[in-house]
Structures are given as C-alpha cells and as structure tokens.
Amino acid sequence: MTIADRIAAFRAELEEWLRGLYHGMITHPAYEKIEKEAEDAEDEFMLACFPDAFGIPSPVSYYTAELLPYLEDEFEAWERRLWDRESLIERKGQQYHF
C-alpha cells in the first residue's frame, strides 16, 4: 500500500466520521424539532376543523364536516395522539428541556 493510498483511505474515513459527527450534532436535533413543530401545526389545524371531538362548540362544524372523508385516517391518529398526551405544557416543556 503506497502512501497515496493510505492518505486516501484516511481521508475517506475522516470524511465519514465528520459526516456522522455533523449529523449527530446539528442535523438530527433539527429534524426532531421540525417534526415536532409540524406535528403541532397539524394538531392545531385538526383542532380548528373538528373541535366538536373534544366538546368545544364551533359554528363552522357544518362546513368542516365535509373534510372528514378526506382526513379520516389522520383524524383517528390525531385523536388517539391527543388523548394519550399528558398535557400541552408537558409537550412544550420537552421541546425546551424543562
């Protein structure tokens, strides 16, 4: 193995290690935050469309009921997820490490 081959192998291993370090320190936590924010936005949208599911009266329920066939799968998962949560304060506290 020549010196050039050894240097190329070292550079390839160093590049792989740095890529893993970058993913672990910067990209991965960002993905988690983005996923949680997207989930929160979806929860807010579904709650605005279907507040009757939680006993909140809404004058627009008649119109948003037309969306139910299109959002059926998401609605069931959303309702289950909201009932399983302890509280919104706990959810936001997890995002900010309280």
The DSSP-derived string for 52-96 is GGGT---TTHHHHGGGTTTSHHHHHHHHHHHHH-S-HHHHHHHHT
Mean pLDDT by 10 residues, the chain (98 residues): 91 93 79 81 85 82 84 82 70 67
Query: What pLDDT, on a 0 to 100 scale, did the predictor assign at position 95?
Result: 67
Query: What pLDDT, on a 0 to 100 scale, did the predictor assign at position 87?
Result: 65
Query: What pLDDT, on a 0 to 100 scale, did the predictor assign at position 5?
Result: 92
